[in-house]
């Protein structure tokens, strides 16, 4: 209904939307649980928050959260983010964040998540 929010039952806060991949292969990997982490430029979620992954419409809960440089996150978590290599992860980072580009010391947030039923 117009004007109503979906809420995180644990915190009664509005459910956050996080936008994911523009390609079907990566979206399928997210749905299959092969992707369990994401890197973000801002602290958009807290530990335990539930978010809705768009364009998939599936819910996930934050299990871990850390603030590190892009390089540290990619070095430690590229496989959780669904990449075979660090270089592949960095190529996507540059594609989605051209304004940051090669500044790998840029501070970012890493979120590890797990699928939950809505």
Domains and CATH numbers, the chain: 16-116 (2.30.130.30)
Q: CB atoms < 10 A from the CB of 13, how many?
A: 13
Q: Which two tokens stand for residue 26?
A: 């990566």
Residue 40's H or E segment, with its range, is: strand 37-40
For residues 55 and 20, give the distance between their C-alpha atoms in angstroms, rounded to a whole number: 7
pLDDT tens sequence across 21-54: 667 788 888 888 999 999 999 998 999 998 888 8
The secondary structure of residue 19, as a DSSP letter, is E
Report the alpha-carbon distance of residue 104 to residue 74 in Å, rounded: 9
CA angle 50, 5, 45 (to 5 degrees): 30
Report the C-alpha gap between 116 and 60 in whole angstroms: 5
Output the tens digit of pLDDT for each of the chain's 118 residues.
333 335 555 555 566 777 776 677 888 888 889 999 999 999 989 999 988 888 778 889 999 999 999 999 999 999 999 999 999 999 999 998 999 888 999 999 999 999 987 5
């Amino acid at each position: 209904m117009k004007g109503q929010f979906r809420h995180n039952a644990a915190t009664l806060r509005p459910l956050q939307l996080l936008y994911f991949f523009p390609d079907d292969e990566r979206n399928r990997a997210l749905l299959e649980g092969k992707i369990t982490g994401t890197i973000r430029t801002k602290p958009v979620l807290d530990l335990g928050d539930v978010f809705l992954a768009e364009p998939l419409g599936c819910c996930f809960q934050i299990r871990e959260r850390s603030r590190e440089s892009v390089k540290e996150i990619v070095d430690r978590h590229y496989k959780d983010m669904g990449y075979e290599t660090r270089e592949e992860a960095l190529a996507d980072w540059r594609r989605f964040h051209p304004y940051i580009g090669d500044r790998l010391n840029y501070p970012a947030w890493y979120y590890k998540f797990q699928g939950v039923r809505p």
